[in-house]
Amino acid sequence: MTGRPPAFLFDLDGVLVDTAPLHFAAWRAVVRRHLGIRLPQALEHDLRGLSRADSLRRILAHGGIRLSADRFAAILEDKNALYRRMIADLDPNALLPGADRLLTDLAAAGHPLALVSASRNAPAILARLGIAERFAFRVDPARIARGKPAPDIFLAAAAGMDVPPRDCIGFEDAPAGIAGIKAAGMIAVAVGSQAAAGADLAVPDLAACDPATVVALWRRRRSADDPATG
């Protein structure tokens, strides 16, 4: 078994900070203005973990709507502009329970940390939360060919940190994210109940996450994979 500690990969929205309601509020306002339709609250769950473009595709599929490329791009631009205005007032107090302590403890224990957010606004949000320097690597979603549930963003994080995927532990709050972590061959930790199915471990929030328990799970998995070195 490797002597290096495992790496921890974190989604942003819904894991470290709850911006999902802001995303959905922006989508609701922009879609109503452009398309004249009201989005049901239940759709918010379906959009969690998706990129901006994939979110709009899901919305259009829900409404049975087809758009030209120009109108599609215009809606994306308007949604992002509105969302950026909404997040302008974020500060470290917006961090979800346990996030700051967990990141601090993991870094102190020598675990590499990566951000695996599909949001292109992630750098601005991290800066407002005061945690940008905690992450050794941040995946640029613009360079990722396939969004979650494909494993691309998680594999890119592993490659960026020079850590084998099986030595990575991912935290997600959405089913698409959990599916992507598992497809990458990593241990998946679900934050909240909506993504618990399919995860290796589920916690209600990061305050309830014990790093020792997660690392022990990783050690057992590695020992099972490499019994001669376990």
pLDDT of the residue at 230: 47
Annotate the chain with DSSP letters as a single string: --SSPPEEEE-SBTTTB--HHHHHHHHHHHHHHHH--PPPTTHHHHHTT--HHHHHHHHHHHHT----HHHHHHHHHHHHHHHHHHGGG--GGGBPTTHHHHHHHHHHTT--EEE----TTHHHHHHHHT-GGG-SEE--GGG-SS-TTSSHHHHHHHHHHT--GGGEEEEESSHHHHHHHHHTT-EEEEESSTT-TT-SEEESSGGG--HHHHHHHHHHHHHHH-TTT-
Q: Are 191 and 14 in contact (CB under 8 A)?
A: yes
For residue 13, indicate whether it is catalytic.
yes
Domain final residue, candidates 89, 115, 139: 89
Active site residue 91: no
Torsion of CA 28, 30, 33, 35, to 10 degrees: -80
41 assigned to some structural domain: yes
Within 10 angstroms of residue 61's Cβ, the number of other Cβ atoms is: 11
Position 127 in a domain? yes
Same domain, 14 and 60: no
What number is the average pLDDT over the span 201-218?
96
Do the Cβ atoms of 24 and 39 come closer than 8 Å? yes
The two three-digit tokens of residue 167, written as one number: 């030595």
Which of the residues 11, 152, 167, 200 is marked catalytic?
A: 11
Q: Which of 13-17, 83-87, 194-198, 206-210 shows the lowest mean pLDDT across its residues?
A: 194-198
Q: Are residues 63 and 137 in the same domain?
A: no
Domain contains 135 = yes
Domain around 96: 7-18+92-225
Structural domain includes residue 2: no
* Same domain as 124, residue 34: no
User: Average pLDDT in the 93-99 region?
Assistant: 96
Domain boundary among 58, 89, 120: 89
Are 118 and 25 members of one domain?
Answer: no
Q: Are residues 61 and 102 in the same domain?
A: no
Domain count, the chain: 2
Q: Model pTM?
A: 0.84
136 contact partners, CB below 8 Å, separation of at least 6: 112, 113, 114, 161
Over the stretch 160-208, which tens digit does the pLDDT of each residue have? 999 999 999 999 998 999 999 999 999 999 999 888 889 999 999 999 9
Exactly one of 13, 152, 167, 173 is catalytic; name it. Answer: 13
pLDDT at 49: 73
Q: Assign residue 208 the CATH number of its domain.
A: 3.40.50.1000
108-156 pLDDT per residue, tens: 999 999 999 988 899 999 999 999 999 999 999 999 999 899 999 999 9
What is the C-alpha to C-alpha distance for residues 79 and 83, in angstroms, rounded to an integer?
6
